[in-house]
Amino acid sequence: MTHAAEISRDNPSCFLFLIDQSGSMEDEISTGSENQKLSNGVADSINTWLQELSIKCAKSEGVRDYYDIGVLGYGSDVVPGFFGPLAGRDLIPISEIADNPTRLDERTKKIPDGAGGIVDQSVRIPVWFEPVASGGTPMCKAAEEAKRILEDWIAAHPDAFPPTVIHITDGESTDGNPTDRLHDLTKLSTSDGNVMLFNIHLSAKKNVEPVSFLDSADHLPDTYSKMLFETASPLTPTMRGLAKEHSFVTSEDSRCFVLNGDLVLLVQAIDIGTRPSNAQLEVSMEAESEEIDGDHDSGDDDEKPEDQWSGDSENLR
């Protein structure tokens, strides 16, 4: 497990979201002052992450293709999860994602008014992934399809920083035991290491105790939760450092695993799962910036993705 390959446009990495879209994702979860459907919360989290990654990969000449991104939903069927111009595609370069949101939602954000008060400001939020909740939980079929997608990608990128799979679910598989199929995902590898699998279980139930990044399955309540723990990848040292930033206590045996998570924990887990590859991107971005700066003007007049979505990029971060 090295996970040290530099990420560049010539050698990108890959993120694949594996999303439970079963009927139970209609259940509502408390978000503090209000309730929100699990499916809506997951969609918002993924759209926000896509927006932030698009901005991170943006330079004056456009969004650079450091990543290929896929969203695979499983419920009534197992299908690619993007809507609009990107519908039906498995993995898509980040530049195409940035250029092709399904729509822009108008939302209200509270900001300081400069005089000690708070005012509402309207911002435009890009949407690529819509909430869906229907059917069963064909986790086995979803894992098989994810394996096919990643096998093809790895064959084309044999020396890349390994793909990361973010698996988000709220229930048990309805098409058999997915243990072997999830293990098959983490057996896939590039020359830089094995595929990383995050198993993130969400729960809309009240009075359940969330657990995260355990180093043992000994005290988990049932066979299902133990399966999610045992098929999840071990946290890398970089991930353990990020977990510490979020105030989680981990050890060398901790797994990429969350049980009974809420939407806050979901966002934290996505950050821990995806930010290590961003660290590998920094060196490449610095080198490429020097190259671009030598060939271009400052680019102040060039439109970047945040300019497409809002006049104030700080509203998007």
Per-residue pLDDT tens for 241-274?
A: 999 999 999 999 999 999 999 999 999 999 999 9
Res 4 pLDDT > 80: yes
Which residues is 108 bridged to in the sheet? 122
Res 70 pLDDT > 90: yes
Instruction: Assign 240 a pLDDT band (cuts: 50, 70, 90).
Output: very high
β-bridge pairing 164-169 and 13-20: parallel
Decide which of 281 and 261 is more confident.
261
Res 315 pLDDT > 50: no
Decide which of 107 and 263 is more confident.
263
β-bridge pairing 62-63 and 58-59: antiparallel
pLDDT at 231: 98
Query: What's the rounded mean pLDDT across residues 119-135?
Result: 87
Decide which of 236 and 33 is more confident.
236
Q: In 3D, which of 241, 172, 167, 221 has the Cα closest to residue 16?
A: 167
Torsion region of 247: left, alpha or beta (phi above 0 gives left; psi -120 to 50 gives alpha): left
Res 43 pLDDT > 50: yes
Res 305 pLDDT > 90: no
pLDDT at 259: 97
Q: What's this model's pTM, rounded to 2 decimal places?
A: 0.88
What is the C-alpha to C-alpha distance for residues 315 and 309, in angstroms, rounded to an integer?
10
Residues 6+ apart with CB under 8 A from 309: 51, 104, 124, 125, 126, 316
Res 296 pLDDT > 60: no
pLDDT in tens, 193-210: 999 999 999 998 888 899
pLDDT in tens, 136-183: 999 999 999 999 999 999 999 999 999 999 999 999 999 999 999 999
pLDDT at 288: 61
What is the C-alpha to C-alpha distance for residues 47 and 76, in angstroms, rounded to an integer?
22
Q: Which fold has domain 13-316?
A: Rossmann fold (3.40.50)
pLDDT at 114: 73
